Structure 1
């Protein structure tokens, strides 16, 4: 299983970022299909999608998160 960092955003969405290859995948330099969360990091900001939606909603006076 290849290792990933999970980023838990303020909006409650989680994004993954690649951290390390498993042994078989390191031979071909491609992440394998199985993901192992190495560590979960709390992020005090909304994810990019929610940030963009909030910016769009602010022009109409609505807030998404």
Structure 2
């Protein structure tokens, strides 16, 4: 069975676009969380340790576990 080269090329392009677009969401989410943490530290420098700890815990909870554990 010989597949159509046009369909094969379109499939590769579609897969690349899907992976690229799927990576935008987590990047925006993590950037927003980091930005809010920096704003919080700027407002209350004394709470830097607690804010940083919560940011690290958030990132570890959602970005370092396999999907089956979420």
TM-score relative to the length of structure 1:
0.28
Compare the two structures and name the one with the higher strand fraction. Answer: 1
Q: Which structure: larger Rg?
A: 2
**1 or 2 for the larger relative contact order (CA 8 Å, sep ≥6)?**
1
TM-score relative to the length of structure 2:
0.27
